[in-house]
Structure 1
Amino acid sequence: MSRIDGAAFPIAGVFAASVSNHEAGTGCTAIVCPEGATGAVDVRGGAPATRETDLLRPEETVSKLHCVVLSGGSAYGLAAACGAAEELERRGIGLDVGVGVVPIVSSACVFDLACGSPDVRPGTAEGALAVARALDERDRELEAGNHGAGCGCTVGKLRGPAHAMKGGLGRATAGSGELVCCAIAAVNAFGNVVDPKDGIPVAGTLSNEGRPLDLAGSLAAHSDHVPFLRTNTTISCVVTNASLTKAQATKVAQISADAYAHAIKPTHTTNDGDTIFVMATGEVEATVDEVGMLATRALEEAIVDGVRSAEGAYGFPAVSDLE
């Protein structure tokens, strides 16, 4: 397993790019598969902001997903997916409906309104630009940290913003033979990000001495005021070259949620909108369990990469500031 360097994904036919507004502390990231990939989703958080998730249920008739947009801006940021769909339509990419094409674009958003400018959010222009960059600048590296959907991410908000840290966009890949799973995650968790190998906090709620707290015990023991509600979310997209049905891809999304449990403490809370999309391009035969294992490993590393790649901003320190 290694981090993705250079291209966004080492999977043919998949492209990704971000649009960032560093001054306003927000942005969006588009993952595009022009030929369409088998799509699925798993939503476990109690406060999601999403688009086109019902369509991805195994019993629904549309199976191909053309784009996933991870966005800041809370529910306002869902407008970026509209822009992504419009740009794909201009390029003739989408589901052929006889009188034209309808791009299938799913999306999830993080709450980043407390960073930068709360009244500036990714919209249709930013979503369209992210798709255009993904398709026209294919050699461009997808930057981690304070970029795209990770621009205004924060983690560890149990004791409020004064004790929180900077989150960000992370990416990683895991492979076995020809089988590859790649993950991109915008890490904006209520809880701490921990090292999955030993559970030691990497970033999160800071003690009065400025070190990440171990939240293994009671949350009430560490909280000294009521946290912001429904202002947290970790949103991800796993892309694999495996051949999967919608039901199988859904199971992979469900298995991948273990990465959240391994790398975020606590996770899937009522204050998070945790969502995982899966896009499967269909080149390699593999079992669901094989794909799920690799997807989980890649997503674990992407979550940790999101906070390790972040830089301190908007008053929130980053991991590098503590080292």
Structure 2
Amino acid sequence: MRTGPHNALTDVLGLRVGHASLTGPGALSGTTVVVSPPGGVVAGVDVRGFAPGTRETDLLDPRRMVQRVDAVVFTGGSAFGLSAVTGVMERLEAAGAGFPVPGGVVPIVPAAAVFDLGRGGDLQARPEAATGAAAFDAASEGPVAQGAVGAGTGAVVGGLKGGVGTASAVLDGGAVVAALVVVDSVGSAVDPGSGVLHGARAGLPGEFPDVAVDQAGLAALRAAAAAASPAPAPAPGNATTLAVVATDVTMDKAGCAALAGMGHDGLARALAPAPAATDGRTVFGLSTAVRPAPEPLELFTVQAVAADVVSRAVAHALLAAATVTTAAGTFRSYAETVIGSVSD
């Protein structure tokens, strides 16, 4: 097994990813869009936690009529930020993509939001339709920007700066499994005893730097996390981690939902304590269905790898995130605190 050429969600051929972040005083939020290839992708979802902020997830129930989606949106701004979906839908409608109806199309765009309200200092600085449109316009099949971008702009993980992360795997038979995460959680991505990222343990050879954290580094990590707590860091009831897991093997909606469930296992391995009532989490499963339906052994492998790519994506999000200072506080990055790479 190896990574794809970008080690990103876009290694699943046809998927495009775009980000847009808010700018200006008091802003620390944004939107990320995963755009499907023409004709859409099969999708399922697994929503957990006490207070999910979602849109159109009921359509992904295998009992519902719609079989394919045209995009998936992740956004900051809590429920307010779901208005970013409108901008994505308008772009898709203009391109003629969506569910056919008399006289036009209705784009199918499931979405989920993270709770980053006020982390930039202004509670009303949150994504809107124009943010979604900008993320759509930025979408490409190339490398995916990670860290404090798009929907991960205001994310915080256990007191450290969170963000967007992505990873991929190409199986021996050629099938691709990839994930993109927006990590915003009460739980920590860091092993408190060693200072190593939990998700890095699932890494492929040479994927992550060898990090040996001494006692001074551990103390710095604890101090950085404590400085952001309890506010405006995530607190129980207002933290959410989002993920999308995609593959090019053929799956139906139920199979995609099962793939999403394996993504939750990846989150549980990468964040501790494991996401529970304190952390909302929504995982989408996508299939571009360009490869044949897997035989049982390949299906088991795809599902197992799905958990690993999510864990790896969480680690990449922490490594890519940069320290951010706003009117609401300072959120130190893992890399700057432990590895010593200075970021603005």
Scaled by the length of structure 1, the TM-score of the pair is 0.85
Question: Is 2:76–2:151's contact at 8 Å kept on the other side of the alignment?
Answer: yes
CA contact (8 A) 1:46 1:270 kept: yes
1:4–1:296 CA distance, 2 compared to 1 (3 A): farther
Of 104, 113, 116, which aligns to 1:112? 116
The counterpart of 2:177, out of the listed 174, 178, 181, is 181
- Matched residue, 2:264: 257
Partners of 1:51 and 1:147 lie apart in 2 by 22
Distance in 1 separating the partners of 2:230 and 2:124 = 29
The answer on 1:244 being equivalent to 2:251 is: yes
- The answer for unaligned runs of 5 or more in structure 1 is 157-163, 214-222
Q: CA deviation at 1:317?
A: 0.5
Distance 1:59 1:303, change over 3 A: same
Gaps of 5+ in 2: 191-197, 203-210, 224-228, 339-344
Q: Match for 1:174: what amino acid?
A: A
- Aligned with residue 294 of structure 1, among 284, 305, 319: 305
1:85 is the counterpart of 2:89: yes
Query: Which of 194, 211, 228 does residue 221 from structure 2 map onto?
Result: 211
Structure 2 counterpart of 1:274: 281
Kindly provide the amino acid, as one letter, of the partner of residue 16 in structure 1. Answer: V
Aligned residue pairs, count: 300
Counterpart in the other structure of 2:342:
none
Assess, with a 3 A threshold, how the Cα gap between structure 1 residues 248 and 178 changes in structure 2: closer, same or farther.
same
Structure 1 counterpart of 2:166, one-letter code: R
Please list the CA deviations of residues 151-197 of structure 1 after superposition, one character each: whole Å capped at 9, or x if unmatched.
100011xxxxxxx1100100110120321011110000110114246
8 Å Cα contact 1:6-1:139 kept in structure 2? no
- Code of the aligned partner of 1:119: Q
More strand by share: 1
Distance 2:11 2:71 in 1: 17
Residue of structure 1 in register with 2:146 after alignment: 144
Partner of 2:208: none
Tell me by how many angstroms 1:18 deviates. 0.4
Say whether the 8 Å CA contact 1:185–1:303 is kept in structure 2.
yes
Read off the aligned partner of 1:92 and give its amino acid letter.
G
Q: Which amino acid aligns with 2:180?
A: I
Alignment of 1:28-39 (within 5 A): 28-33=31-36, 34-39=38-43
Q: Is residue 121 from structure 1 mapped to residue 126 from structure 2 by the alignment?
A: yes
Residue 64 of structure 1 is matched in structure 2 by 68
Task: Measure how far apart 1:211 and its partner are.
Answer: 2.3
- Shift, 1:5, TM fit: 2.8
Distance verdict in 2 for CA 1:165–1:4, change over 3 Å = farther
Find the aligned partners of 1:212 and 1:296 in 2 and give their Cα distance: 28
**1:31 CA drift (Å):** 0.2
Identify the residue that residue 320 of structure 1 maps to in structure 2. Answer: 335
Report the residue type matching 1:27 in the other structure.
G
2: CA distance, partners of 1:281 / 1:30: 16
Q: Please say if residues 44 and 284 of structure 2, whose CA atoms lie closer than 8 Å, have aligned partners that are also in contact.
A: yes
In structure 2, the CA distance between the partners of 1:28 and 1:3, relative to structure 1 (3 Å rule), is farther
2:133 pairs with 1:165: no
Judge conservation of contact 1:36–1:64 (CA < 8 Å) in 2. Answer: yes
Tell me how far apart the structure 2 counterparts of residues 8 and 284 of structure 1 sit (CA, whole Å). 17
After superposition, the C-alpha distances for 1:4-27 in whole angstroms (9 at most, x for unaligned) are: 638751222211110012541111
Q: Which residue of the other structure, out of 154, 157, 180, is the alignment partner of 2:156?
A: 154
Q: CA deviation at 1:236?
A: 0.8
Q: Is the 8 A contact 2:20 2:31 kept in 1?
A: yes
Identify the residue that residue 191 of structure 1 maps to in structure 2: 187
Residues of 1 paired with 2:222 and 2:249: CA distance? 38
The answer to whether 1:308 aligns with 2:319 is: yes
- Measure how far apart 1:266 and its partner are: 1.6
Q: Aligned-pair RMSD on alpha carbons? A: 2.7
Shift of 1:107: 0.5
Q: CA deviation at 1:228?
A: 2.9
**Secondary structure of residue in 1 paired with 2:220:** coil
Contact 1:73-1:113 at 8 Å conserved across structures? yes
CA distance in 2, matches of 1:118, 1:141: 32
- TM-aligned CA distance change 1:22 to 1:212, over 3 Å: farther
Q: CA offset at residue 128 of structure 1?
A: 1.4
